[in-house]
Structure 1
Amino acid sequence: MRPPAPSAPVVLRRHPGAAAAGAPRILFLHGLAGSDTVWEETVRQLGAAHEVWSAQLPWRGQGVEGWGRTANLTPWVEEALASVPGPVDVVVAHSMSSNVLLELLDRTDAFDRFGIRALVLVSPFYRGTAEEFDWATITHYLNDFHLILQEGIRAHSGGRVSAETEILMAQRVREWIGPYGWIRFFDLFLRTPELRTARITVPCLVVGGAHDIATPSQHAIALAGALPDARLRVLGGSGHFPMVDEPADFNAELREFLDSVLTPPPVLQTTLTTET
């Protein structure tokens, strides 16, 4: 089968590694204006114990023109899940893609169809009640949107460009996203109080960064508290990209979580006795 063109809305990539037959499958999803390259160190650390996939989604940096004019983004995450051959045991999603994933799981039977056993939600946007949204919230995410994007540029560039260049690049990315893309992002955020989190009963790891200006750690704390089976980790030296800011700590938390949810429970041995 011919591989998808780079301009296709969803581009799936299997990462190198001779995973054993039957190894758990993990799918990584990047955030707004990001790229699956943000997971490179995480994927490298996982080794061959897992079959690892990542998706390039329409809202990737310089991705699909006009994606923001589509009101419902969930079919694209659904397409990524469906493109992985076999069950997807764990989905790891960052930032806005965490919210798209949660909406998909809330609206559909995706857990059953794709065999999802656990979730890792990194720097998600979340507020539990509509009353928590006010005009100051809109002002921050609208007027300071380029600062949030600048943090993503820093993470993807590895700090190799100056702060002045980061700002210019962030402003260009903001223009590419445009008002429609911003509306899609903020609309997802506004709908988080409507998520039926009680339906998401699989084990979840929610990771936040203590210095995140996009999604302060209170977002991760609130979401973890709303999920039936969630572990919360707030990394003290991280911003919006814990997997880049503190890769060793992030990867250790991820491996510990995967080991706990993917290791089969021990088989209890029973001894039969007969009475004489």
Structure 2
Amino acid sequence: MNGAADPGVTGGPDLRPVSVEQRTGGRGPRVLLLHGLAANDTVWDLALPALPADHQLWTARLPWRTETIADFHGGHEEPGLRDRLAEALQAVPGGAEVVVAHSMAANVLLDLLDQELKAGVDAPRRYGIRALVLVSPFYRSRADQFDWDTISYYLNDFHLIMEEGLRAHSGGRLSADLRQAMGERVRDRVGPYGWFRFFDLYLRTPALATARLGLPTLVLAGETDFAARPEEGVALAAALPDARCLVLPGSGHFPMLDTAERFAAAVADFVHTVPGLSPQRGRALPEALELQR
């Protein structure tokens, strides 16, 4: 599962449901980056050069990416989201020691680890995971925090999240009208089934047995994120046994694009504090608000 081309079409786009690609060949920690809904692995392109050269960086292409999103909304057939994410984790030779997951991928990852831990499987050991970085995750700790207004907001304004991705990817070069048209088109490609799969993950977050997940975890939130609000990242970090949350100023739902260097510095500093991954070092991250339990 290595490389960008579809093995059946020379030079064509990679249309396999899951693939991974090694982006740098460092001898340090193996880091796998997972993109969110209706994005792809290019979402990491600005941050990758700013990450430490000694890290071995991998990116995944997942079924909910831009190129294959039209195949994503056909219902709840197997293999499911957890199975596909497990494929990506297992495709990294030696295992991904640090998993960096953005937006919906963070929720699929939490769901996968939660289900396996509840079944008595040592999921971190199975996949070789030593630490997590959860970027702009969706999280609510109680079922009563979901009401009809919440559903209406995420249903009727779902296209705004798609528009936010277009804004971040384009660096603000697209006009508002064009972003709106393109955002609605992406929303329609995600479709009702795709939206429901996203929202179903969100609805299940109060049931996550977060106390079982003792991995060192960094939660990164964007200060102006209107999709996964920063207070949700703070709440998730508070619910995990060994986690902290950094809220990145000047960033929305895509901190790896909005503030790429600050994002990379936060990830690098965190990885260097995880015992056994690399020599520990401490650097104060400038202009980040740290919020912990």
Report the TM-score when normalising by structure 2: 0.86
Structure 1 distance, partners of 2:76, 2:169, is: 26
Q: Given the superposition, is the C-alpha separation of residues 185 and 66 from structure 1 closer, same or farther in structure 2, using an over 3 Å criterion?
A: same
Question: SS at 1:127's partner residue?
Answer: coil
Structure 1 distance, partners of 2:71, 2:45, is: 27
The C-alpha deviation readout for 1:24-78, integer Å capped at 9, x for no partner, is 1000000000111111122111242111111011101131533231363101110
Q: Aligned to 2:139, which of 126, 137, 157?
A: 126
Deviation at 1:123, TM superposition (A): 0.3
- 1:43 and 2:48 aligned: yes
Q: Given the superposition, is the C-alpha separation of residues 217 and 247 from structure 1 closer, same or farther in structure 2, using an over 3 Å criterion?
A: same
* Residues 54-203 of structure 1 aligned to structure 2 (within 5 Å): 54-68=59-73, 69-70=75-76, 72-108=80-116, 109-203=122-216
Unaligned runs of 5+ in 2: 7-13, 117-121, 282-293
Contact 1:8 1:64 in 2 (8 A): no
Deviation at 1:80, TM superposition (A): 0.2
RMSD: 1.7
Deviates more, 1:65-74 or 1:161-170: 65-74
Name the larger-Rg structure. 1
Deviation at 1:233, TM superposition (A): 0.3
Structure 1 distance, partners of 2:26, 2:261, is: 22
The C-alpha deviation readout for 1:245-266, integer Å capped at 9, x for no partner, is 1122211111110111123579
Identity of aligned residues (%): 53
Aligned partner letter, 1:138: I
Q: Aligned to 1:210, which of 223, 244, 253?
A: 223
Q: Aligned to 1:256, which of 263, 266, 269?
A: 269
Contact 1:33 1:173 in 2 (8 A): yes
Aligned partner letter, 2:171: G
Equivalent residue number for residue 273 of structure 1: none
Deviation at 1:87, TM superposition (A): 2.2
Contact 1:90 1:117 in 2 (8 A): yes
Contact 1:9 1:64 in 2 (8 A): no
Aligned partner letter, 1:223: L
Report the TM-score when normalising by structure 1: 0.91
Deviation at 1:89, TM superposition (A): 0.6
* Residues 211-226 of structure 1 aligned to structure 2 (within 5 Å): 211-226=224-239
Deviation at 1:157, TM superposition (A): 2.0
Deviates more, 1:159-168 or 1:141-150: 159-168
Structure 1 distance, partners of 2:123, 2:199, is: 24
Question: SS at 1:65's partner residue?
Answer: helix
Deviates more, 1:170-179 or 1:69-78: 69-78
Structure with bigger helix share is 1
Unaligned runs of 5+ in 1: 267-276
Structure 1 distance, partners of 2:188, 2:261, is: 34
Equivalent residue number for residue 29 of structure 1: 34
Size of the aligned set, in residue pairs, is 263
Deviation at 1:18, TM superposition (A): 3.7
Structure 2 distance, partners of 1:2, 1:82, is: 12
Structure 1 distance, partners of 2:88, 2:159, is: 28
Contact 2:2 2:21 in 1 (8 A): no
